[in-house]
Amino acid sequence: MQDRPLNNREQFVMTGIVPEIPLKQKPDSVSRLVDHHPDTAISKPKRHRWGSVEVLSCSGGHRIERICVKRGKELPAHYHQHRSEHWTIVEGEAEVLLGDDVLIVAPDDSLYIPAGTVHGLKPAAGSDVKIVVVHFGDTVSDADDMVKSD
């Protein structure tokens, strides 16, 4: 264990289910899903004005996506009523809105986003950001469970 306090890139204190989750520590269920998904998407990338989303796996109560947010754009703030998300940053640095907090994230950082928590992402200047997202819940389709926030 470290002798110094963790900074916001190394730790995310969440309310609710678990009091602390270090960003570098991925929950076992997320690691298993990410480690075992095929390297190719099961659908063509869906283009958005801010970037793209590729569905890598979808089964029962989970879905795994690879999301790219282009530099100069941002993933708009939103929340999901019926699912949580686990994000792992794989490329680029970004500011992440998570509830009332803004976190700076970089490759290999991970975040847990509980259902009902407003979240969004803005790449740091000059870089695209790629993340792997694992959705868990009763409804894992964006069309059914995405609520845009102001």
pLDDT of residue 108 exceeding 70: yes
Domain membership of residue 112 (yes or no) is yes
Residues 13-17 have a mean pLDDT of 35
- Count of structural domains within the chain: 1
> What pLDDT sits at residue 23?
46
How far is Cα 116 from Cα 114, in angstroms, rounded to an integer? 6
pLDDT tens sequence across 55-65: 888 887 888 99
Residue 11 covered by a domain: no
Instruction: For residue 41, give the CATH number of its domain.
Output: 2.60.120.10
Take residue 85 and report the two structure tokens written for it: 């998300």
Show Cβ contacts of residue 37 under 8 Å, excluding neighbours closer than 6 positions: 56, 57, 64
Residue 60 lies in a domain: yes
Domain range enclosing 118: 24-148
Residue 14, domain member (yes or no): no
Does any domain span residue 7?
no
